[in-house]
Structure 1
Amino acid sequence: MTADGGAEHEAELVARAVAGDRTALEEVVRLLQDPLYRLALRMVWRPADAEDATQEILIRVVTRLATWRAEARLLTWAYRIGVNYVLNLRRKTPQEAGQLSLEDFREGLAEGLADQDYAGPDAGLLAAEVRLSCSQAVLQCLERGERVAFVLGEVFELSSTEAAWILEVSPAAYRKRLERARQRIRAFMGSTCGIVNPEAFCRCSRRVEKAVAVGRVDPRRPTLATHPVSPGGRGVAEAADQMLRLRDAAGVLRAHPDYAAPRARTDAVLALLRSGRFPLLD
């Protein structure tokens, strides 16, 4: 489908949804749910919190659907609603609550590093879980405005024009914010992460024992390494292959699977929509 064809399809789909077509409305929700969940997950760290945020964002998107004027792609418009929600969350991540800086985080990684690679059961799976959890935690050490700028530009690879529109700032202001985040991430990853810099001290496989000991990784139920992905999306292995080809700071933080929003939560949103409680459906 061409870009124009895609825009026409979105406009037709939204028009049907706003007119009361429940099938169209459900298609809108299913179209947006996974990208919005991935946005929330990058911003709030824990999958459970991301699930809560995604549900709230989807409800806000649906109840404002009649205000979409195709000034941006439907997903870009939904990102604006999602970003506004996660930036204003009162709930803080553990890193935010503890005001953990990248420098503090680096010190913690150095203290918990084993002398040898972990060689216990499911070593590869647990090392992947450590990598995915660590890259999530790195993002939480950025102030929220810098974090979302980095996520939009470097993780989601949106243009500065799109990202600036989402954040409601000028492209120049957005690029300045993104560059500050880039510099901090590059400095941290270059001095810390062995994937980015072979001379750096940290290795995922040497963090496994500490992560298990302090409860950051559950060896019986790894959260991120076994998380369901979108149909046709990248899994852990594909994302890791891409990361190893790039071996740069953004590549490591970008190399997460294409996580899918938990269907129980989106089914709950759809059930609310069918309940007739929203003016959009009257």
Structure 2
Amino acid sequence: MATAPEVLDPEALAAERDLVARAVAGDRTAVGEVVLLLQDPIYRLALRMVWRPADAEDATQEILLRVVENLNSWRAEARLLTWAYRVGVNFLLNLRRRTPQETNQLSLDDFSEGLKDGLAEQDYRGPEATLLTHEVRLNCSQAMLQCLARDERVAFVLSDVFEVSSAEAAWITGATPAAYRKRVERAKKRLGSFLTRTCGLSNPDAFCRCSRRVEKALELGRVDPRRPAFAAHPVTPGGRSVEEAEKQMVRLHDAAAVIGAHPDYAAPRDRMAAIAGVLGSGRFPLLE
């Protein structure tokens, strides 16, 4: 089992100790600050693991409630967010709800073959072409992640998308550093192979282009032009927009860039308000 990662910022850790101590003592303002600190990173993690925003909202709510419920067990062996990631990963790896790819046991090879079906000869030129092309790209990169086993998926996301250090990520997942590195290596190899033979963003010689998948995605209902799930998703104040994330991806040209090129999504504020309501419901003794 991995040991807890070393904390490198004593001042930040001291501030988090104080915040958590006040929250555990029943300070509702401090509890709100904890939730505010964690909600967007946890939501982005959940979104990578469960694909759809609505499912990510449900998962985020449950993870944050578990975090608050167990705040008194945080011993500052890692940063608060790192510890919250551990709570979240444990929940997400054991989630009963399956994505469609998981239910159908869809492999990356199967996914690649499916992308050939309905691929248009020309770029989509219809209404909202840029928005819908962004939506197809973002939806596709989410979908391809679901073709990985959950332990490989979370390892890749922590390492290559969130850029968490190997020591921290191994601790978060409860794996040894060696086992964690193997999971990342397997995930990168599978995704790299898929992108090289399939994705024109990663390899200009590959067959698939987001702009040529728009019509088929609209036909299948995988993209809703009235309510795009990803391209118009709210972002964290000061975070990357869709356009900024895509520029970063174009500069890098690798698997991590393609899959990581999502904006810095913000957890939906109406759901966060619902969490605040639950926290005030009497379920949590530390708030009584």
Q: TM-score interval w.r.t. the shorter chain?
A: over 0.9
**In the alignment, structure 1 residue 119 sits paired with structure 2 residue 140:** no
2:91 equivalent among 85, 94, 115: 85
**In the alignment, structure 1 residue 188 sits paired with structure 2 residue 200:** no
1:269 equivalent among 255, 271, 275: 275
1:128 maps to 134
1:206 maps to 212
Quote the offset at 1:278 in angstroms.
0.6
CA distance in 2, matches of 1:243, 1:203: 15
RMSD: 0.9
**When the two structures are superposed, what TM-score results if normalisation uses the length of structure 1?**
0.98
Counting only pairs closer than 5 Å after superposition, residues 58-97 of structure 1 correspond to structure 2 as 58-97=64-103
CA distance in 2, matches of 1:101, 1:276: 45
Unaligned stretches of 5+ residues in structure 2:
1-7
SS at 1:169's partner residue? coil
1:159-218 Cα offsets, whole Å, 9 max, x none, are 110000001111111001110001000000011110110000100000000000000001
1:249 equivalent among 237, 250, 255: 255
Counting only pairs closer than 5 Å after superposition, residues 149-160 of structure 1 correspond to structure 2 as 149-160=155-166
SS at 2:207's partner residue? coil
Quote the offset at 1:231 in angstroms.
1.0
1:37 maps to 43
CA distance in 2, matches of 1:28, 1:280: 14
Quote the offset at 1:275 in angstroms.
2.5
1:11-59 Cα offsets, whole Å, 9 max, x none, are 1100110011110000000100000000100000010000000000000
2:5 maps to none
**Percent identity of equivalent pairs:** 70
Unaligned stretches of 5+ residues in structure 1:
none
Q: How many equivalent pairs are there? A: 281
CA distance in 2, matches of 1:104, 1:34: 32
SS at 1:119's partner residue? coil
CA distance in 2, matches of 1:31, 1:270: 14
1:233 equivalent among 236, 239, 243: 239
CA distance in 1, matches of 2:114, 2:175: 35
1:72-123 Cα offsets, whole Å, 9 max, x none, are 0100000000001011011100000111100000001011210000001111
2:28 equivalent among 19, 22, 26: 22
Moved over 4 A (4+): none
**When the two structures are superposed, what TM-score results if normalisation uses the length of structure 2?**
0.96
